[in-house]
Structure 1
Amino acid sequence: MALAAEACAHRGALLRFHADPGTREDHGYEYWPDGLLLVADGRVVAAGPAEALLRGEAAGVPLIEHRQALLLPGFIDPHIHYPQTDMIGSGGQDLLDWLNRYTFPEERRFADAAQAREVSEFFLDELLRNGSTTALVLGTVHRVSAEQFFAASAARGLRMIAGKCLMDRNCPADLRDTAEEGERDTRELIEAWHGRQRQSYAITVRFAPTSTPEQLASAGRLAREYPDVFVHSHLAENAKEIAWVRELFPEARSYLDVYERNGLLRERAIYAHCIHLDTADRQRMAASGAGAAFSPTSNLYLGSGLFDLDASDAAGMRYAPATDVGGGSSFSMLRTLGEAYKVAQMKGQRLPALRAFYLATLGAARMLGLDHRIGTLAAGSEADFIVLDEAATPLLARRLSRCQTLAERLLVWMTLSPDRAVRHSYVQGRRAGGCAAPALA
């Protein structure tokens, strides 16, 4: 088979998943200590043992050697706020105090297109520096915040999902839209950006308390009219927040029920946190195909609570780890996985390292309905992948040298990796920071 002129082979330890490993260490993945990833035209051509591919499909193809490195699909972050980049690490007594004291004042700045574009650029660079090649991203109530984000993402050839917030009550007056304005802006943004290059749109209700019943109904109409767009919001993060929802929506059985009554519970609907759900809620999430973005660094930082992996698994609910910057305290999915492991430990549960890496790659892609495109490194998939540096620090190199199994190695990556552990991020087969990637059909 003739390959494109820009075909390239990458050699190093190579890991990819094809199923959820669960608690097993012999299931759901392929790992080649000496592997080869062959890419061309922005897509994966083949992955497997290096010697066999170098004698076959990759013969004569330019080769990049990634010594002391692990190659794997780019991380997928299913919940993060780009306008909160400059307030990461802010304090606050709890979620609602933090929103009023830090978040709303910061988000006022995004009425300005130049501000939105500058932060978008930094934010995307920071994602890539930490190995996240796709994310589900909230903007602010300002339409321009979404426009500038999409423009910056498209220029890099990234696969991103984003939307402007819908928020028409219980927030500062200068951060409100109306149900009519929000629907008009959302509709026009969908038409302009959804499916353009690698951009996708998310109908974005900030959370139920900041939208009137009229706006929630409007969001539901949009979700029905555009079934292939995403829905993105917050759910059951904080006890005070849940009590507030109960006061505002006394007719609803639960917080989740507020969204379901308005047609916002379906495939491609992603709800951040989902800590304080009951069995019926989790079963409804599972039946609908909606997913939960589990945000351990944020939940610990704001004291919101501990996500229940076992209860979510028992219900068959989809979930994946997310950074939730700026409530979350790191852009790093490696650090996020380490904190998720600790949350499970505190609940008397287990998050094996193999499963953690699955959830941050193929598991997240499946939750988003994008596993035919990203998260897998299967032949024909988009060539978004990262290179983890085994020698990023002397301690990391020393500890990895003593590991006996892949599971041990991945747990060390989750536990000890510094920010510079991601040596390179590749987008459509090209190293991030280089020339713009080609658009995929």
Structure 2
Amino acid sequence: MAVELILGQVLHFAADPFAEGLEAARIETRGGVLVEAGRIVAVGAADALRAAHPGARITDLGAALLSAGFVDAHAHYPQTGIIASWGKRLIDWLNTYTFPEEMRFADPAHAAAVAARYLDLVLAHGTTTVASFCTSHPESVDALFAAAEARGMRIAAGKTCMDRNAPPGLCDTAGRAHDESAALIARWHGRGRLVYAITPRFAPTSTPEQLDALGTLWAEHPTCLMQTHLSEQTEELDWVRALYPEARDYLDVYERAGLLGPGALFGHCIHLTGRERMRLRETGAALIHCPTSNAFIGSGLFDMAGLTAEGQRVGLATDTGGGSSFSMLRTMAAAYEICQLRGRALHPAELWWLATAGGARAMGMADRIGNLAPGMEADLIALDLASTQAIAQRSARAETFWEAVFPTIMMGDDRAIAGVWVNGQRLRPAEAPRG
């Protein structure tokens, strides 16, 4: 396989900037990434890499920004078709939009079409890894994993398990949730770049028996991830208290069932108690911030400053389709805006970390994706930092690297994505950026 040397402005991380400071972000203004056989071989100064590898095929992107591909750590691919639907909060959203749409995924052809469309949409926006809920139909899981495998993508996904408070056509049972998930694990988990995520939708749609069955399944397959929702809206918290009066708090519902620990991904985590925050940190679970969704359906303001200061593992996510964009750039912008409302201006380096290395760490994949370093899997993107007239005129005034990057974070979209490589293969055109 040919060796490719991709040249541009290279951004990578030596550490977590929330913990180690902004100097953890490393910038090579005229740098390169050497890729061979699906892996990153070297990262460094362009001239040095050219001299050391004279036989490499050169892809010179000029002033484009080279980064690890974005990692979207919480999404619902079956909601692709209902993104940007008007006027609902969480429970009404589920009943009005989500459940009727998910009923359609019993049809394997429909599931395959939406899975392909969804992955092509996220790739167009520079996202190379997702953690996605499917529906309760095993066919929906097969469709997404097959589409990801065809594209060479590293993703995590799982059958969404529900045995109450949902339409009969979407409900399974405790036994079926365990057995159908186990069969899917046997078929897909660890196959190529695919990872299975055990997936109870959230406590209100599972009986204690189903959560226990899924906790047992996770104990049987500890290399799987576990993904669910936690403390998204205040009405949801009231519902959980009524359904689980014996639990100390919302997180305790999952903990009692064996669904708390490393590899657990909890979406939203807005209205946490002190005990919940302590247990999430102690157990190494991940909190996934979904800012466009939290604003769009009125959930609340995630405490990014406080949670990162505590040392929590935090990832970033679109939460498609409660989230209103497939773009991690838009998601970073929303995270910035929400943090501003809580009195903290996130630095561009912190935002970029959340969308790449932070998400990879949340998913337990920081040794493979989310950063540009020798030995990492070659999922990377190139960004045009002057992709629109509005962005170009602002970035032209920049006096620092981060001042040039920030307009793309705040105003960028799929037009900023100049190239996408997945597992070393270029899937999206990598053309020289404009301006």
TM-score by length of 1: 0.95
Question: How much does 1:68 deviate?
Answer: 3.2
> 2:84 maps to what in 1?
89
**Aligned equivalents of 2:99 and 2:412: distance in 1?**
33
| Gap regions ≥5 residues in structure 2 | 430-435
Q: How far is 1:396 from its partner? A: 1.4
Partner of 2:242: 247
**Does 2:96 correspond to 1:101?**
yes
Aligned to 2:265: 270
Task: Give the C-alpha shift of residue 21 in structure 1.
Answer: 1.5
Change (3 A) 1:276 1:81: same
CA contact 1:22–1:352 (8 Å) conserved in 2: no
Deviations 1:143-190 (A, max 9, x none): 110011111110111001000100000011111011111111000100
Corresponding position: 1:386 with 2:381 = yes
CA contact (8 A) 2:391 2:412 kept: yes
Paired amino acid for 1:422: I
Residue in structure 2 matched with residue 289 of structure 1 by the alignment: 284
**SS at structure 2 position matched to 1:197:** coil
- Out of 414, 422, 429, the residue aligned to residue 419 of structure 1 is 414
Give structure 1 stretches of 5+ with no counterpart.
Answer: 435-441
**Aligned equivalents of 1:26 and 1:259: distance in 2?**
35
Q: Name the counterpart of 2:178.
A: 183
- Alpha-carbon separation, structure 2, partners of 1:314 and 1:41: 39
The C-alpha deviation readout for 1:359-394, integer Å capped at 9, x for no partner, is 111111112111111111211110000010123112
Specify the alignment match of 2:193 in structure 1.
198
Q: Which residue of 2 aligns with 1:35?
A: 31
Q: Which of 376, 398, 412 does residue 403 from structure 1 map onto?
A: 398
3-state SS of paired residue (1:68): strand
Aligned pairs for 1:209-228 (under 5 A) are: 209-228=204-223
Correspondent of 1:112 among 107, 114, 123 = 107
Which residue of structure 2 aligns with residue 140 of structure 1?
A: 135
- SS of 2:276's equivalent? helix
For residue 437 of structure 1, what is the aligned residue in structure 2?
Answer: none
Residue deviations 1:89-122, cap 9 Å, x none? 0123311011101110011000000000000000
Q: Which of 61, 68, 85 is matched with 2:63 structurally? A: 68
Partner secondary structure for residue 333 of structure 2: helix
- Which of residues 45, 48, 57 in structure 2 aligns to 1:49? 45
Deviation at 1:433, TM superposition (A): 5.1
> Secondary structure at the residue paired with 1:350?
coil
Residues of 2 paired with 1:417 and 1:93: CA distance? Answer: 27
- Contact in 1 for aligned 2:77/2:132 (Cα 8 Å): yes
Distance across 1 between alignment mates of 2:88 and 2:39 = 46
Separation in structure 2 between the aligned mates of residue 385 and residue 89 of structure 1, nearest angstrom: 28
Deviates more, 1:30-39 or 1:386-395: 386-395
Give the 3-state SS of the residue equivalent to 1:22 in structure 2.
helix
| Equivalent position to 1:15, from 11, 18, 24 | 11
The 8 Å contact of residues 217 and 262 in structure 1, kept in 2 or not, is answered as: yes
How does the TM-score come out when normalised to structure 2? Answer: 0.96
Partner of residue 433, structure 2 = none
Distance in 1 (CA, whole Å) between partners of 2:16 and 2:89 is 34
Once the two structures are TM-superposed, the CA of residue 306 in structure 1 deviates from its matched residue by 0.5
| Contact 1:11 1:35 (8 Å CA) reproduced | yes
Contact residue 64 and residue 385 of structure 2 kept, 8 A: yes
Contact 1:268 1:369 in 2 (8 A): yes
Aligned counterpart in structure 2 of residue 373 of structure 1, from 368, 372, 376 = 368
Question: SS of the counterpart of 2:88?
Answer: coil
The answer to whether the 8 Å contact 2:379/2:422 transfers is yes
* Deviation of the 1:23 alpha carbon: 8.5
Choose 401-410 or 161-170, whichever is displaced more. 401-410
Structure-2 residue corresponding to 1:439? none
- In structure 2, distance between residues paired with 1:142 and 1:87: 18
Question: Once the 2 structures are TM-superposed, how far is the Cα of residue 407 of structure 1 from its aligned partner?
Answer: 2.3
Q: Secondary structure at the match of 2:375?
A: coil
Give yes or no for the alignment of 1:123 onto 2:115: no
Identical pairs, percent: 47
State how far apart, in whole Å, the 1-side matches of 2:171 and 2:158 are.
Answer: 15
Give the deviation of 1:25 after TM superposition.
6.7
Give the count of matched residue pairs.
429
| Per-residue deviation, residues 256-278 of structure 1 (Å, max 9, x unmatched) | 11001111011010010000001
Structure 2 residue corresponding to 1:344, chosen from 339, 346, 370: 339
- What's the CA shift for 1:60? 2.4
Q: Tell whether 2:164 aligns with 1:160.
A: no
Q: CA RMSD in A?
A: 1.3
Cα distance 1:87–1:252, how it changes in 2: closer, same or farther (>3 A)?
same
Deviations 1:241-263 (CA, angstroms, capped at 9, x unpaired): 11000000000011011001111
Aligned residue type for 1:41 = A
Distance in 1 (alpha carbons) for counterparts of 2:123 and 2:230? 27
The corresponding residue for 2:165 is 170
Which amino acid is 1:372 matched to? D
Q: Which runs of 4+ in 1 moved over 4 A?
A: 23-26
